[in-house]
Structure 1
Amino acid sequence: MGNLRSELLRELESRGPGGLRQNEIYSALNYSRSHVSETLASLERGGIILRKREGKASKRVWLTEQYPGHIEGLVRVGILMSSEYVPFLSSIWKSMEGKNQKIKVRVFGSAPDLISSLHEYTLEIGVAPTFTHVLFSLTNKKEVIISAVGSGGSAVLSNSAVNNNLLATSESSTMALMSRELVKEKGAKIHFFTDPGKAKDEFLAGSFEYMAIWEPFLSDARNHPGIEEVSDSGEKSFLNPCCSIGVSRNFLESEGELVRVISRGYHEFLEKMGEPDLDYGIGVISDATGYNPEELLESLKSYEFSDRLDLAMLRKYMIDVGIPVSSERLKEMLL
């Protein structure tokens, strides 16, 4: 059963939100019909796949994490590899206690991929740069921003041992915004990365002269000899809030009260946040980044956490980054 299980999961992953008709599985894989049915049933019991009937005699199969719609009792949260999200992850874990809801966290390499998944409804919640949320929402109405996360915790660094004018940064993100002045002033050539840990290692090894990076990778890189700070997010007031929390519209429509519980829960969590309360978020980010809990707790000191985000703040943010958006359109993006 092991080989069939692996082949099934690979095939379903390749199909994404479109899923796969169960009859196609029978014909595509060289296993008996009973063997396939038994394996599908096992995966379904484990919550790994989801099956929905199509018509009278057919079913479609998805990986649970790729099903394009809300699944009752499950909240799928998309994040990037950042310690900024530790408090929110811990707060949502606490908010879901006793509510018969499971949390499934997916870690993405890029903000555009995360927001695309949110807009495909394969996530209930997406935590990503405010800029990416708004940019991708200009052409559709697939999400609503319910809260800010925080600000700070990022900087543009230079490696004094390198002179190649290459700048490593992430795409369509706060880091990309922070990098604009360096590109304008020095004509730096941009290299986009999707793995901040790998980019940090390559930067320290001399592949790039500059790097726009966030915590916990920032503190790690900054502690090496010859690494200097070109600018930090504290100097860029227009970057506040750095990141925001968005929910898919179908999740809001089907679980509106739960969304409000999550939003209120984060606000209340920040008001009385203490180190022991952060265990869940620390565990998730430690697994994603490879940094230990002590390093992550230390990196949190680089941030100012606040859930506050209103129309005036969002409008100013977009004007300051050079993409004015009408108040009416921005209002539609906010809870």
Structure 2
Amino acid sequence: MELRTAILSDLVKHKEMGILQSEIESHFGFSRAHVSETLSILVSEGKVIERMEGKLLKRVWLTEFYPYPISGTIRIAMLASSEYVPFLASALSVCAENKITLRFRILKSAYDVMDSLISGSSEIALAPFYSQIVYSIVTRKIKILSSIASGGSSVFTNEESLQSNIGTSDTSTMILLSRTFMKSLEKNVEVYDDPHSAIASFESGKLKFITIWEPFCTVLRKKGKYMEQLKYEEALGDIPCCASSYRINASAADGKLFREIVNEYGKLIKDGMTSTKLGEAIEIMSKEMGIQQEIISESLKSYRFLEGVDRELLMRYMDVLKIPVSMSSIEDMFP
């Protein structure tokens, strides 16, 4: 295997841990000079980042997994959801104004998104409120920046399926919606990470029910053959589905930039989604998710976009989660 390919493949496996250059040399059996030359090329291409550990050791990471701040760059981790389009548009706008490079990653699960934030490989996490709250309480290392939206998810039924099970993502609002619909999650629950494969299982009859979010709800509605049994707002009302968050050890400069993004997001919501960056954000998400831009644009109508966080509403959400918590603990989740 070519050394370049071998290094990149191995770095994917090691994620935020990275690899020592000496480990690359010993593991793949190449000379120090050849490894150094290959790494220099990868660094110049922006694919990897190197960092000295002490005076002699050098550790290497894929840029997307680098667990330290990158000068002039803000990284956002998120799930594959059209709910994040307006926030992404706001981030694109603010970063362009400040000549900041914006990188983003769409990850498979809420766990992955939140772990990315905690590890340092992302500055902002866009994830279900459920996950944000759990990580905030358990780690005490993150602060919730803003709400994103409520609504935008539903339970669908495939009447032709002979099964009695439901497909849902885990550690997310989907699991709450599934619990409301099924009454119990003790059996007949199939947890998925990939919404595309989950929809394929649903349409083939392997799943009787599916709890899914936008833009995948719009995809199923347009099929015209699946019954929409329960909508988010019918089960959870105005409780926010998702939120944005950041690490408490963020720099003052980053904190200022985050506030600018949230202010821009609030302005975008109030102005009726008229940002020039909205189309760019839709195009980006379309390519990443493999969903037509028209579908993503239409799916935005399913959400009630929010900026602030109502503390009393959040207390009600904690009751839904069955997590006993004081108002002071809730206040600690915010800057």
TM-score (norm: length of structure 1): 0.94
Q: Is the 8 A contact 2:163 2:205 kept in 1?
A: no
Correspondence for 1:211: 210
Correspondence for 1:159: 158
CA distance in 1, matches of 2:52, 2:188: 51
Change in 2 beyond 3 A, CA 1:187/1:135: closer
CA distance in 1, matches of 2:185, 2:31: 63
Correspondence 1:314 to 2:314: yes
Correspondence 1:294 to 2:294: yes
Offset, 1:82: 0.7
Offset, 1:35: 2.0
CA distance in 1, matches of 2:330, 2:145: 12
CA distance in 2, matches of 1:139, 1:36: 41
Offset, 1:177: 0.3
Offset, 1:223: 2.8
CA distance in 1, matches of 2:330, 2:132: 11
Change in 2 beyond 3 A, CA 1:129/1:334: same
Name the SS for the 1:251 alignment partner: coil
Correspondence for 1:172: 171
Change in 2 beyond 3 A, CA 1:61/1:9: same
Offset, 1:269: 2.1
The aligned runs of 1:197-276 (5 Å cut-off) are 197-238=196-237, 240-252=239-251, 255-272=254-271, 273-274=273-274, 276=276
Question: How many pairs were matched up?
Answer: 334
CA distance in 2, matches of 1:291, 1:43: 31
Name the SS for the 1:255 alignment partner: helix
Q: Is the 8 A contact 1:83 1:296 kept in 2?
A: yes
The aligned runs of 1:1-335 (5 Å cut-off) are 3-184=2-183, 189-238=188-237, 240-252=239-251, 255-272=254-271, 273-274=273-274, 276-335=276-335
Structure 1 residues 170-222: Cα deviation after superposition (integer angstroms, max 9, x where no partner): 00100000001233269761101001111112101111000000111111112
CA distance in 2, matches of 1:24, 1:300: 47
CA distance in 2, matches of 1:186, 1:18: 35
CA distance in 2, matches of 1:247, 1:277: 22
Structure 1 residues 52-109: Cα deviation after superposition (integer angstroms, max 9, x where no partner): 1111122111112112222221111111111111111111000111323111111111
Name the SS for the 1:218 alignment partner: helix
CA distance in 1, matches of 2:231, 2:13: 39
Name the SS for the 1:333 alignment partner: coil
CA distance in 1, matches of 2:85, 2:231: 21
CA distance in 2, matches of 1:75, 1:113: 18
Work out the percentage of aligned pairs sharing the same amino acid: 35
Unaligned runs of 5+ in 2: none
Change in 2 beyond 3 A, CA 1:113/1:239: farther
RMSD of equivalent CA atoms: 1.9
Q: Is the 8 A contact 1:50 1:67 kept in 2?
A: yes
Change in 2 beyond 3 A, CA 1:35/1:308: same
Offset, 1:330: 1.6
Q: Is the 8 A contact 1:167 1:188 kept in 2?
A: no
Q: Is the 8 A contact 1:70 1:250 kept in 2?
A: no
TM-score (norm: length of structure 2): 0.94
CA distance in 2, matches of 1:100, 1:158: 47
Offset, 1:303: 0.9
Moved more, 111-120 or 314-323: 314-323
Runs of 4+ residues over 6 Å off in structure 1: none
CA distance in 1, matches of 2:108, 2:166: 18
Q: Is the 8 A contact 1:197 1:289 kept in 2?
A: no
